[in-house]
Structure 1
Amino acid sequence: MLELDTITAGYDRLDPVVRDFSLRLEAGEAVGLLGPSGCGKSTVARVAALLHRPYRGRVVIDGEPATGWRYGAPRAQRTAFGVVFQQPRMSADPRLPLRDLIAEPLRAGRRAAEAPARVAELAEAVGLTPELLTRRPHEVSDGQLQRACLARALVLRPRWLICDEMTAMLDASTTAALVAVVEEYRRTERAGLLAVSHDRVLLDRWTDRTVHWSETTPAA
């Protein structure tokens, strides 16, 4: 289980954007977080993925409270998450060809020997050809780059996926393709999914249940 317990977070301690937010996500479950832009959904997603330290509250991962954030988190907790953000160009190193972009987490964890087979497997799953893998981010479309970012998020076989407006910048066909990849991964690995979006129709189709953001009592 992934649990957010009365989280208060933001970028100004005197005026946090998230106040006393709670959420539970079971292994294998898909939960949507629905709300308008600017309400704090992305902050919740970053706290859940151990990328942003809350002012108050705690994150509990498979029964163990989080004890650190970003690179200060224990490796076992940090690598339990795969994260895909809304803007792939903001989260991709422009110097790396897509092949190296996908393999980056393996190399950071001294598992480079696994990279060729794992990258080839995921590239096929997300719809990237061998030729596209040789290109850098500026040489591919947003959709192609987001496919690579999803592959990177899956490369370590995470137990929890955080998709923060993953499809907001994509056309309908690319959206459908990437959602299908996530669903296949969830089915085979029994991974939990937190999908953040302002698109009610997408979340109703994609997730098992949807949490509707409320500024007064943002809890589920």
Structure 2
Amino acid sequence: MSTLAARGVGVTFGHAVVFDDVDVELARGETVGLRGPSGCGKSTLARVLALLHGPDRGHVSIDGSPIEGARYAVPVATRTRIALLFQSPRAAADPRLSLLDLIAEPLLATGTDRTTGRARARALADDVGLTEDLLERRPHAVSDGQLQRACLARALVHNPDYLLLDEATAMLDASTQALVAQVLIAYQRQHQAGVLLVSHDLALLDRWADRTIDWNELIS
């Protein structure tokens, strides 16, 4: 079975242990919820699973193969199999880029030419409900919901096998939440993607997740 897994991972910032000896596994095609209070370490674990932060102990593996390093130290073919959608789109978006270039950015960073990257970005923008008039605007000129749609399109640009959502709908109104969920469910069905929902919203997890892990059980 294809899986994204953390095995015995631990993270320390300075002298503070954020968490230690954590095991979690996400299979292709399943939706797993991760529930816990703010500040407990859920977001840090999501970044470790997304290969954005290397653990101090343990390792992350894909399909049973341990991954060394983080970020650009990981081969493109491996790191693009995982995408992370953050809670705050404004913190995750480069304010200098138009929404179209924001969506295309991961493709350009991995060698796709600008014309092809922008064409792919336009198709994804349409999928997430962004109209043509919004695509040349910069983040300051659009709403949080519109910007999060662009960030969602960016997360899907490499057709990842695993999608990690870190409170990704917490700042959105109900209609935008519903659209994001609709797009993600359709993507998951088409690509058999594994989805990790990091949230403290029990109703959301009950509605969407196949199973939910409680943070306190994870670290016990």
Q: TM-score range by the shorter chain?
A: over 0.9
Partner of 1:199: 201
Partner of 1:162: 164
CA distance in 1, matches of 2:198, 2:12: 17
- From 94, 115, 118, give the equivalent of 1:116: 118
- Counterpart code for 1:32: G
- Counterpart code for 1:218: L
Partner of 2:99: 98
CA distance in 2, matches of 1:129, 1:19: 45
- Root-mean-square deviation (CA, aligned residues, Å) is 1.3
TM-score normalized by the length of structure 1: 0.95
Matches within 5 A, 1:84-95: 84-95=85-96
Please state how far the C-alpha of 1:76 moved relative to its aligned partner.
1.5
Partner of 1:208: 210
Partner of 2:5: 3
Partner of 2:142: 140
Name whichever of 61-70 and 153-162 sits farther off.
61-70
Please state how far the C-alpha of 1:41 moved relative to its aligned partner.
0.3
Aligned to 2:13, what secondary structure does the other structure show?
coil
TM-score normalized by the length of structure 2: 0.95
Matches within 5 A, 1:19-168: 19-112=20-113, 113-168=115-170
Name whichever of 117-126 and 24-33 sits farther off.
117-126
Q: Which deviations, in whole Å up to 9, do the C-alpha atoms of 1:33-77 show, x marking residues without a partner?
A: 000000000011000000111111110112221111011112121
CA contact under 8 A between 1:67 and 1:74: conserved in structure 2?
Answer: no
CA contact under 8 A between 1:18 and 1:43: conserved in structure 2?
Answer: no
* Percent of pairs with identical residues: 55
Name whichever of 106-115 and 76-85 sits farther off.
106-115
- Counterpart code for 2:27: E
Runs (4+) of structure 1 moved beyond 4 Å? none
Pair 97,28 (structure 1): closer, same or farther in 2 beyond 3 Å:
same
Aligned to 1:38, what secondary structure does the other structure show?
coil
Please state how far the C-alpha of 1:116 moved relative to its aligned partner.
3.3
| Alignment gaps of 5+ in structure 2 | none
- Counterpart code for 1:197: S
CA distance in 2, matches of 1:23, 1:174: 29
- Counterpart code for 1:128: L
Aligned to 1:135, what secondary structure does the other structure show?
coil
| Alignment gaps of 5+ in structure 1 | none
Please state how far the C-alpha of 1:81 moved relative to its aligned partner.
1.0
CA distance in 2, matches of 1:11, 1:145: 31
Aligned to 1:218, what secondary structure does the other structure show?
helix
Aligned to 2:195, what secondary structure does the other structure show?
strand
Please state how far the C-alpha of 1:185 moved relative to its aligned partner.
0.5
CA contact under 8 A between 1:19 and 1:218: conserved in structure 2?
Answer: no
Please state how far the C-alpha of 1:10 moved relative to its aligned partner.
3.6
- Counterpart code for 1:15: A
CA distance in 2, matches of 1:68, 1:75: 12
Please state how far the C-alpha of 1:117 moved relative to its aligned partner.
2.9
Please state how far the C-alpha of 1:219 moved relative to its aligned partner.
5.3
CA distance in 2, matches of 1:20, 1:67: 18
Aligned to 1:28, what secondary structure does the other structure show?
coil
CA distance in 2, matches of 1:89, 1:143: 10
CA contact under 8 A between 1:20 and 1:218: conserved in structure 2?
Answer: no
Aligned to 2:40, what secondary structure does the other structure show?
coil
Partner of 2:180: 178
Aligned to 1:157, what secondary structure does the other structure show?
coil
